[in-house]
Amino acid sequence: MEKLRNHESQYARSLIEASHDPLVTINTDGKIMDMNQAMTKITGKLREDLIGTDFIDYFTNTQKAKKIYKKVFEKGFVVDYPLTIKDHTLTDVLFNGSVYKDENGNVLGAVVVARDITEQKRIKKELVEAKIFAELATEIAEGARKKAEKATEIAENAVKAKQQFLSNMSHEIRTPMNAIIGFTKVLLKTEMSEKQREYLDAIKMSGDSLIVLINDILDLAKVDAGKMVFEQIPFKMTSSISAMLHLFETKIQEKNLILIKEYDDNIPDVIVGDPVRLHQIIINLVSNAVKFTNVGKITVSVKLKSETEEKITVEFSVTDTGIGIKKNKINKIFENFQQASSGTSRLYGGTGLGLAIVKHLVEPQGGSILVKSEINKGSTFSFTLDFLKTNAQPEKETELLQVNNLNNSFRILVVEDIPLNQLLMKTLLDEFGFEGDIAENGKIAIEMLKLNSYDIILMDLQMPVLNGFETTEYIRNKMHSKIPIIALTADVTTVDLAKCNEVGMNDYIAKPVDERLLYSKIVSLVINPSNALNKNEIKETTKKTFKYTHLDSLIRRTKSNPKLMMEMISMYLEQTPLLIAALKRGFHKKDCELLYSSAHKLIPSFSIMGISIDYENMAKKVQDFARTQKQNEGIEAIVVQLENVCTQACLELEKEFNVLKNKK
Ligand code: ADP
């Protein structure tokens, strides 16, 4: 029996000691009865010292400890009850325990095991810390993101501000510049000494290059801001290119160069692309060719390179016989502000921006630009662009109208706020022989439109009170008028041309205004109903009294000099009746010499007085007949007609003469 008990006791001890966690048995009074070595180790006390002491004394929070042993005896067990042992490291533990009973079911005591959760806590703590760090890191990252966003916003605002500044400044500079150039052009047409003309030419040239520079800078700013947009509109390429090359006529003549246009007829008449940008590219290349060539020719060639069902690929090239470019400079010239040699600016002017812009205009459209050049032989700049095929009609006619034989009494409303521009427009319209009224802003224009009838409106875009877009919208939607409207824009490259179209404008023209282009656009919109929106209205407003003579060509020839004009008119009035009489006499008397000489002398007067070329051709027919005496059918009728025309012309010119005399 003794042996058995001993054996049981051994067994119980080994069970107790099997636990590496502190284990104690307590009696119902909470006194420690027994424990394992882990318990003596953690408390640092001897077994004898622990036995009989209060369980709760070994914990930091004695109240909580009391609860656990009470709970154990009340409920019979306890699960994961947290306590901290009062050892030197203050070990955190979780208590699990249950009561033990005698054979009659009486509770003798409880066994409680404390699980050391220091490691668990450490991991938890680390996890919490990691979480906090992660949160902190996210916060920092978020802060950094916000800062970056702010910085981007600031940078973007700075770019926007720069854009805005450039745009405002260029507008501010352009307005007076346009006036300077415009009035210089007007002045250049008047009588002056050679020296004065030379000085004025210099003013105009400087003005022109300033405008080019302003436009270039604005374009580059737009490229920088990624705001270069390309349109896709139907246009007639051949007329578009002819109109553009016309701009160089004077310069080319001045330099005694020859301009050759090679245009591939296989290119469809109307194609879809961006005519404004195409102009810009070719203008840049041709103006360089003209600038850097002193003898020889400039060839602008437009060839169909390939074609599919939907699109065509066109190769454009501008070849000159000019100074050429050194091999080692060829790649540099497409960079901003780069010129082939340091003397270029001094000798030829320019800023080195043109080709950089050309590159930025060609490449985003999927094209590429190439240059071949040989020093003193010449250069070829070529580029290819794709255009879509279309059945649509072009949006606007880019051809320049023949100026000579047109009716010249249109009534035009100019909507423009800047007095200088008003005066300039008025001067130009007067020169064309048109009647021009001025409205300072859109609101006044609308009032004037209600009171008077006009053939066409020239509309500035930026104006106080009611701007050009708003005014056009009002005219189209509220007044339901379809009167042709041409936008006057200071900046054809940035202006929202789509918006002009959208609000119902028929066309636009860039300042400084090219007079011939303006004249051509006005006339084409007023007299050609297909170019205007409302055909009926236009027809009605263009019913003018017919005139044989048109003074525009005389104005040009005399450079608006009234004295000279009067002299020429009076010469015509003096000579024409005599010539007509001689013509008649020659015909009737079959005096071929007289007939020939009178017809011959009459011929130049038709174009000078703006009389239709048809009558000039009639006079030529008479002259031919007098020379060859062949085919006399119809000559008599022609002579009669010429007499009628010239008599009418004399009557009209007499009136014009009196008007000029009264103006003096
Ligand atoms: P800019 O003409 O204002 O100087 P560009 O960018 O148009 O600027 O041209 C850059 C340079 O390339 C010119 O300064 C000139 O040295 C050279 N270059 C351009 N076109 C020609 C050309 N057709 N012939 C000779 N050199 C040219």
* Residues 20-30, mean pLDDT to the nearest whole number: 89
Nearest residue (CA) to ligand 1, atom 1: 352
- For residue 336 and ligand 1, the question of a CB distance below 6 A is answered with no
Q: pTM of this prediction?
A: 0.46
- Quote the ligand 1 centre to 300 CA distance (angstroms): 17
Closest residue by CA, ligand 1 atom 20:
288
Cα of 638 vs centre of ligand 1, distance in Å, is 56
C-alpha–C-alpha distance, residues 22 and 304, integer Å:
97
Q: Report which protein residue has its CA nearest ligand 1's atom 9.
A: 352
288 lines ligand 1 (CB under 6 A): yes
Reply yes or no on whether the pLDDT at 145 is more than 50: yes
Write the CA distances from 31 to 22, 69, 115, 116, 187, integer angstroms: 16, 10, 20, 22, 122
- The arithmetic mean of pLDDT across residues 500-516, rounded, is 82
Q: Please give the pLDDT value at position 655.
A: 85
Q: Rounded to whole angstroms, how far apart are CA atoms 368 and 385?
A: 8
CA of 323 to the centre of ligand 1 (A): 10
Distance 376 CA to ligand 1 centre (A): 14
User: Residue 612 gets which letter from DSSP?
Assistant: -
Pocket probe mutation, ligand 1, options 325, 331, 358, 380, max atoms within 8 Å of Cβ:
325
Contact residues for 298 (Cβ-Cβ < 8 A; gap 6+): 252, 257, 258, 259, 260, 286, 289, 290, 318, 319, 320, 321
- Name which residue sits closest to atom 3 of ligand 1, judged by CA: 350
Instruction: Give the confidence band of 513 by pLDDT, cuts at 50, 70, 90.
Output: confident
**Dist CA 540 CA 536 (whole Å):** 6
Assess whether pLDDT exceeds 90 at residue 458.
yes
Could you tell me where the beta strands, DSSP code E, fall in 264-367?
270-273, 297-307, 311-320
- The predicted pLDDT at position 5 comes to 66
Q: Is 538's C-beta closer than 6 angstroms to any atom of ligand 1?
A: no
Q: How far is the CA of 178 from the centre of ligand 1 (A)?
A: 25
Helix (H, G, I), strand (E, B) or coil at 342: coil
Reduced to 3 states (helix: H, G, I; strand: E, B; else coil), residue 516 is: helix
Name the residue with higher pLDDT: 570 or 399: 570
Q: Is 319 in the pocket of ligand 1 (CB under 6 A)?
A: no
Centre a 10 Å sphere on the Cβ of residue 301 and count the other Cβ atoms it contains. Answer: 16
Is the model's pLDDT at 177 over the cut of 90?
no
Give the pLDDT band (50/70/90) at residue 357. Answer: confident
Q: Please, are residues 469 and 495 in contact by the beta-carbon 8 Å criterion? A: no
- Distance (Å, whole) CA 300 – CA 258: 11
> What is the separation of C-alpha 409 from the centre of its chain, rounded to a whole number of angstroms?
37
The pLDDT tens digits of the residues spanning 52-67 come to 999 898 888 989 888 8
Say if ligand 1 is within 6 A of residue 454 CB. Answer: no
Instruction: State yes or no: pLDDT of 540 exceeds 60.
Output: no
Mutate which of 323, 333, 359 for ligand 1? The one with the most ligand atoms within 8 Å of its CB, which is: 333
* Confidence category of residue 528, pLDDT binned at 50, 70, 90: low
pLDDT of 631 strictly over 70: yes
The confidence score (pLDDT) of residue 2 equals: 61
Closest ligand 1 atom, CA of 320?
Answer: 23
H/E run at residue 166: helix 118-188
pLDDT top residue among 350 and 190: 190
Instruction: Determine the Cα–Cα distance for residues 184 and 285; give it in Å rounded to an integer.
Output: 26
Calculate how far, in angstroms, residue 381's C-alpha sits from the geometric centre of ligand 1.
11
Q: Which residue matches tokens 């502000």?
A: 337
Shortest-distance Cα residue to atom 8 of ligand 1: 352
Ranked by mean pLDDT, which of 90-104, 195-209, 306-320 comes out on top? 306-320
* Closest approach atom of ligand 1 to CA 318: 23
Give strand pairing partners of 489: 510
Backbone dihedral angles phi then psi of residue 313, each to the nearest 5 degrees? -110, 125
- Residue of minimum CA distance from atom 17 in ligand 1: 340
CA of 352 to the centre of ligand 1 (A): 7
Report the C-alpha dihedral over residues 191, 195, 197, 203, rounded to 10 degrees: -140
Cα–Cα distance, 260 to 380 (Å, whole number): 14
In the predicted model, what is the mean pLDDT of residues 285-310? 93
Q: Measured in angstroms, how far is the CA atom of residue 353 from the centroid of ligand 1?
A: 9
Which pLDDT score is estimated for 486? 92
Q: Contact at 8 Å (CB) between 286 and 383?
A: no
Q: How far apart are CA 646 and CA 321, in angstroms?
A: 48
Average confidence score pLDDT of the chain: 83
CA distance 622 to 586: 11
Strand partners, 93: 83, 116
Q: What is the SS3 assignment for 408?
A: coil
Confidence of residue 4 (pLDDT cuts 50, 70, 90): low
CA dist., res. 13 & res. 427, Å (int): 123
Atom of ligand 1 nearest to the CA of 378: 24
The protein residue with its alpha carbon nearest to ligand 1, atom 25, reads 324
Mean pLDDT across 117-142? 84
Q: How many angstroms is it from 345 CA to the middle of ligand 1?
A: 10
**Residue 423 C-beta-side C-alpha neighbours within 13 Å:** 13
Q: Is 418 in the pocket of ligand 1 (CB under 6 A)?
A: no
Establish whether residue 322 lines the binding site of ligand 1, counting it when its CB lies within 6 angstroms of any ligand atom. Answer: yes
Ligand 1 atom 13: residue of nearest CA: 339
Q: How far is the CA of 371 from the centre of ligand 1 (A)?
A: 11
Q: Given a cut of 90, is residue 372 above it in pLDDT? A: yes
pLDDT over threshold 50, residue 534: no
Which of the listed residues 220, 334, 355 should we mutate to test ligand 1's pocket, taking the one with most ligand atoms within 8 A of CB?
A: 355
Whether residue 306 is predicted with pLDDT greater than 90 in this model: the reply is yes
Q: What is the 177 CA–ligand 1 centroid distance (Å)?
A: 25
Q: What is the pLDDT of residues 648-662, one digit of tens each?
A: 888 889 888 888 887
What is the structure's pLDDT at 375?
A: 93
Q: Please give the pLDDT value at position 541.
A: 31
Residue-level pLDDT at 319 = 96
* Cβ(378) – ligand 1 distance below 6 Å: no
pLDDT reading at 397 higher than 50: no
Give the pLDDT score at 116.
84
Encode pLDDT of 34-44 as tens digits.
999 988 888 88
State the pLDDT confidence band at 404, using cuts at 50, 70 and 90: very low
207 pLDDT more than 60: yes
Give dist(CA 425, CA 440) in Å, integer: 13
Read off the pLDDT of residues 68-124 as tens digits, 9 standing for 90 and up.
888 889 998 988 888 888 877 888 888 898 998 888 888 889 998 988 888 888 888
CA of residue 288 to ligand 1 center, whole Å: 6
> 215 CB less than 6 Å from ligand 1?
no
**Once rounded to an integer, what is the mean pLDDT over residues 303-312?**
91
Mean per-residue pLDDT for 422-446?
88
340 lines ligand 1 (CB under 6 A): yes
Mean pLDDT of 219-232: 70
Percentage of the chain surpassing pLDDT 70?
Answer: 89
Q: Which of 7-16, 434-443, 599-608 has the lowest mean pLDDT?
A: 7-16
Atom of ligand 1 nearest to the CA of 350: 3
Alpha carbon distance 564, 548 (integer Å): 21
With a 6 Å cutoff on the Cβ, whether 353 touches ligand 1 is yes
Q: Where are the alpha helices (DSSP H) in 19-117?
A: 37-43, 47-50, 62-75
For residue 323, is pLDDT > 90? yes
